[in-house]
Structure 1
Amino acid sequence: MRGTRVDLSELEETVRKLGRLTTAMGESVTKSKYNTYLPDGALGSHRFVESTELTSAHRQMKAHIEEIIRVINDAIDDFGTKTKIVHGNYQNAEYEAKNGMNGARSGAGE
């Protein structure tokens, strides 16, 4: 592990970017749920067989898109959480290494 260095500012930037991505995905969730609503009869009366089929296909696709967005959001949240944990761990290790060296120096002079 000697010589390995982690750029904490890059990890911080990744966390910020994930936050922005989560915000943008929130708009997609809202749009997929509420801006794609298709009321019954919007494509014709129930006597029009294709209307029923189209409405059913629309509902299935809407549910599929919502599920895809949920999976993407879960992946972003998971990655963001793990990135924050890794950042914290490296920050702690850096702090301990720095203080360990300082403590060794101050103790050696006594």
Structure 2
Amino acid sequence: MAEQKQYRVDLSELDGVVKRLRALDKDMDEPCSKVGYGTSISKTALGVNFGEAEDLTSAHDEMQTYMDQTLKKLQEFIRDFGLKAHTVHGAYDDAEHDTQKSMGG
């Protein structure tokens, strides 16, 4: 009969990962908000009837949209990974308790 490999999960480390991801998610709120709403420039801020000024404000708007989408996607990834890590932690914790219970502990 083939020997089964046993793996052990460090629940405290997994819990630490969940906590760090939650903190990172919270820390992302300000940059996400700032890039979306705090970096706007008016269409006339760099001059009027000046082609390069229009090109620059247009490039700024495109970059602002790109950064906003990128940071939102990153925060979504962090939240998704954090939720999955939390779920895995709960499953392993439940399995550990079930094992202890079945052994009379």
TM-score of the aligned structures, taking structure 2 as reference length: 0.92
1:34 Cα shift?
2.1
Secondary structure at 2:104's aligned position in 1? helix
2:24 alignment counterpart: 21
1:66 alignment counterpart: 68
1:2-42 deviations in Å (ceiling 9; x for gaps): 43111100011001100110111111111101220111200
Q: Which has the larger radius of gyration?
A: 1
Q: For 2:98 and 2:82, how far apart are their aligned partners in 1?
A: 24
1:89 Cα shift?
0.3
Aligned residues: 102
Q: For 1:17 and 1:23, how far apart are their aligned partners in 2?
A: 10
Percent identity between matched residues is 38
1:107 alignment counterpart: none
TM-score of the aligned structures, taking structure 1 as reference length: 0.88
2:102 alignment counterpart: 100
2:51 alignment counterpart: 49
| Structure 1 residue runs of 4 or more that deviate by more than 6 Å after TM superposition | none
1:28-81 deviations in Å (ceiling 9; x for gaps): 111101220111200101x11111111110000000000110110111011001
Q: Which amino acid aligns with 2:13?
A: E
Q: For 1:21 and 1:75, how far apart are their aligned partners in 2?
A: 11
1:101 Cα shift?
0.9
The two structures, once aligned, show a CA RMSD in angstroms of 1.3
Show structure 2 runs of 5+ residues with no match.
none
Q: Does 1:90 align with 2:92?
A: yes
